Amino acid sequence: MSPLHCNTVQEALWERAASAGPVPLTPTLVDHLSTCATCQSERRAVAELIEASRALPDPGPPTDIWDGFEEDLWDRIHGHPLARAWTHWGRSAIGLAAMLVVGFGLGAVAMRITRPDSNAALTAERQARVVETVQAELENDARLQSYLHEMETILVAYRASDHDASMDVFRRSLPTGMVAGPGVPPEADRERLERQRATREQLRSLVLGMMVTEIESESHGFAYIDRRVASIAGQQLLYFIH
Cβ atoms within 10 Å of 10's Cβ, excluding its own: 18
Please identify, among the stretches 62-70, 109-117, 140-148, 201-209, the one whose residues bind another protein according to the rule CB under 8 A. 62-70
CA-nearest of 90, 237, 85 to 154 is 237
- Contact between 226 and another protein (CB under 8 A)? no
In whole angstroms, the minimum distance from the beta carbon of 87 to another protein comes to 5
**Can you tell me which of 4, 25, 46, 215 binds another protein, judged by CB under 8 A?**
46
- Choose, by CB under 8 A, the member of 38, 123, 135, 173 that binds another protein: 38
Residue 69 as a binder of another protein (CB under 8 A): the answer is: yes
Closest by Cα among 118, 195, 188 to 158 = 195
Count of residues that bind another protein according to CB under 8 A: 42
Q: Is 41 in the site for another protein (CB under 8 A)?
A: yes
Q: Which stretch binds another protein (CB under 8 A): 76-84, 169-177, 190-198, 211-219?
A: 76-84
Closest distance of CB 50 from another protein, Å? 6
CA distance linking residue 111 with residue 108, whole number of Å: 5
Considering the complex, state which of residue 57 and residue 175 has its C-beta at the smaller distance from another protein: 57
Report how far residue 102's alpha carbon sits from residue 106's, in angstroms, rounded to the nearest whole number.
6
Alpha-carbon Rg for the chain, nearest whole angstrom, is: 30
Cβ proximity to another protein: between 3 and 81 the closer is: 81
Q: For residues 104 and 237, is the Cβ–Cβ distance under 8 A?
A: yes
Distances (CA, A) of 96 to 26, 161, 223: 58, 11, 22
C-alpha to C-alpha distance for 104 and 127, rounded to whole angstroms: 23
Q: Nearer Cβ to another protein, position 27 or 59?
A: 59
70 binds another protein (CB under 8 A): yes
